[in-house]
Amino acid sequence: MKVVDPEGVASRAEAFGTQRKRKEFTVKGPNQVLSIDGHDKLSRFGFEIYGAIDAYSQYIAWCYVGISNWTAVSVNKQYLRLLRTTLHMPRLIRSDKGTETVLLAASHVTLRRANHPSLKFSEIYCFGKSTKNQHIEAW
């Protein structure tokens, strides 16, 4: 639109004010934070889309498109498959608190506490609003 109608874009930008700037989200390094989210636009056609991205490198850890009615089981299976394939476990997972992430959260917490039993849930898993999960939402 900026190329087609630069004046119109500028006038609308002035009318609505400046775009809200996202907060800075810093990650120490790779495999520290895994951002996970689903895309529901095609669910009415029977497709589920779910993805995970490394918050540091923006590496797409997995992207799943399927027709499963068992979304929670499917998302957990994708996560466990990622662990088996890469042999790396992220320190923290960030997702919205949907019904599909409960099994994944339980799996991740159980696996992390196997070696570090004193870790708090908040140090292992972060539930938040989907819009605040910047890395996967931007993808």
Query: 60 - beta bridge partners?
Result: 53
Say what the alpha-carbon torsion angle 36, 41, 42, 44 is, to the nearest 10 degrees: 120
Output the pLDDT for position 83.
Answer: 96
Domains recognised in the chain with CATH numbers? 22-132 (3.30.420.10)
Tell me the pTM.
Answer: 0.73
Q: 103 in the Ramachandran plot: left (φ > 0), alpha (ψ -120 to 50) or beta?
A: alpha
Distance between CA atoms of 133 and 139, rounded to whole angstroms?
A: 11
Q: What is the pLDDT along the chain (139 residues), one digit of tens a residue?
A: 446 677 877 777 666 655 555 556 678 888 899 999 888 778 788 888 889 999 898 899 999 888 876 788 989 999 999 999 999 999 999 998 888 889 999 999 999 999 999 999 999 999 886 555 555 555 5
Output the pLDDT for position 116.
Answer: 95
